[in-house]
Amino acid sequence: MPLAEELMQSWRSRLEADCSDQPPASRESIIRWLFGADLERFDSFSREDLAIAQQAMDYRYRILQQRYLRVHQAQAYKQLLQRLGSLFLIRSKIRTWVALSRDRHRTVMDVLQEVIQEMIQSDRYMGQQMRWISECTPSSRLRNALMLASVEEYCLRPIRNQPLLVYRFVNYLRRSQRAGMTQVPSGDLIRLVSEEITPDDSDNPVSLLDNQAIADYQDQQVWTEQQVLRDQVKHQFADYLREHVDPLASQWLELYLEGQSQEAIAAILKVPIKQIYRLREKISYHAVRVFGLKHNPDMVTTWLGTSLKEHSLGLTPEQWTSYWDDLSPTQRRLLELLKADQPTEAIAKALNLRTNQVVGEWSKLYLKAQELRASG
């Protein structure tokens, strides 16, 4: 049996468990889309090439599962724009261009839609993908889901440490802007634009012609966002400790984040050192198992870089593959619903569980990923 057929048989079993709500023809179409037209190439792959190919198929499949497969066409397209628009680098580039253009009323999403539409119409790879998807399935709904998943995967491919979408945006600007001062419309005043901008009313200008300055500014913006998020998490956790654990726990957190040792905290709070250690264990328990999972998981996991949706629980691709393979079909379905931002009540109904069971199962999955990160 050719290697491709063996792999496809494995994928059939996986989709039968993951996508039992989909008809067999749709599952077979998804497999064809993942493997591509040239199946013989798998026989010539080395072990390393095969691992990369399997990882790539798993990545595309997870994109399809998370955002597009069971979603209405309009909502799926909206989720594509939100996903691509959430990229800090492309968002900042579009905002800078809009601010310096005559069309300041346009939003990031407006420009992003134009870039994507132009890419679908003119990009050779996307043209090949569209033709292949049309061969894979006659279902317009499934074709749309496969197309959106292909667009997201293609736009996020790293090229010189930047998403491919950044370069497509640059190409879009070159084709859309009219060259030369002779193209200024009659009756319009010629605007002289400085090569420097001063963001956020600060005294530190950023040169639009200095790539290093732009990179430094973007790094500073990311750092600022992380600090704001860190402060939000700290204040909310301190309030939580004060209300649900012990007012002393909130004071311990402030001193601990200042870098004080347990002995110094005990002396400042005038509490026996054994009580401080017991308090630390109680705070650790609530931080990981209660506050971080039940009260504000999105804020905590985003801050830590361990969110399910954006960071795959902080796992490397290899760790994620091992983690995913070790899950039951119900656990995989739970993660897919969580990635799709489904509320707890809807997840409980879909899985025929109680809401507290959903929370408990998610806690186990998060802690399992935490153990895998620590072991790696």
Whether residues 15 and 123 share a domain: the answer is: yes
**Do 374 and 232 share a domain, yes or no?**
no
16 and 106, same domain (yes or no): yes
- Which of 234, 269, 297 terminates a domain? The answer is 297
Q: Which domain holds residue 254?
A: 199-297
196: which strand partners?
A: 207
Query: Strand (E) positions, the chain?
Result: 158-159, 162-163, 196-197, 206-207
Q: Looking up tokens 């080395």, which residue turns up?
A: 46
- State whether 286 and 329 are in the same domain: no
Number of domains present in the structure of the chain: 3
Q: Decide if pLDDT at 179 tops 50.
A: no
Asked whether residue 187 is domain-assigned, the answer is no
Same-domain pairing of 340 and 215: no
Considering the domain architecture, whether residues 32 and 149 belong to the same structural domain is answered as yes
φ and ψ at residue 34, rounded to 5 degrees: -65, -40
**What pLDDT is recorded for position 147?**
93
Q: What's the pLDDT tens digit per position in 346-363? A: 888 888 888 888 878 887
Q: How many CA atoms lie within 13 A of 17 on its CB side?
A: 14
Confidence of residue 26 (pLDDT cuts 50, 70, 90): very high
DSSP for residue 258: T
Does residue 323 lie in a domain region?
A: yes
Q: Are 73 and 144 in contact (CB under 8 A)?
A: yes
Task: Report residue 290's pLDDT band, with 50, 70 and 90 as the boundaries.
Answer: low
pLDDT over 60 (residue 85): yes
Do residues 292 and 310 both lie within one domain?
no
State whether 80 and 102 are in the same domain: yes
pLDDT above 60 (res 27): yes
259: left (phi over 0), alpha (psi -120 to 50) or beta: left
Question: Terminus-to-terminus CA distance in the chain, angstroms?
Answer: 36
What percent of the chain has pLDDT above 70? 70
Cβ–Cβ < 8 Å for 215, 92? no
**Six-digit token string for 331:** 């656990």
Residue 361 within a domain: yes
Instruction: Check whether residue 139 and residue 19 sit in a common domain.
Output: yes
- 166 and 253 assigned to the same domain: no
pTM of the entire structure? 0.47
What are the φ and ψ backbone dihedral angles of 287, each rounded to 5 degrees? -65, -45
**Do residues 45 and 165 both lie within one domain?**
yes
Nearest to 133 by CA among 149, 121, 118, 115: 149
Torsion sign (Cα): 54, 55, 56, 57: positive
Closest CA relative to residue 141, chosen from 133, 153, 152:
133
What is the pLDDT, as a whole number, of residue 190? 41
Quote the mean pLDDT of the chain: 76
What interhelical angle do 317-325 and 355-375 show, nearest 10? 130
The answer to whether residues 126 and 132 touch, using CB atoms and an 8 Å cutoff, is no
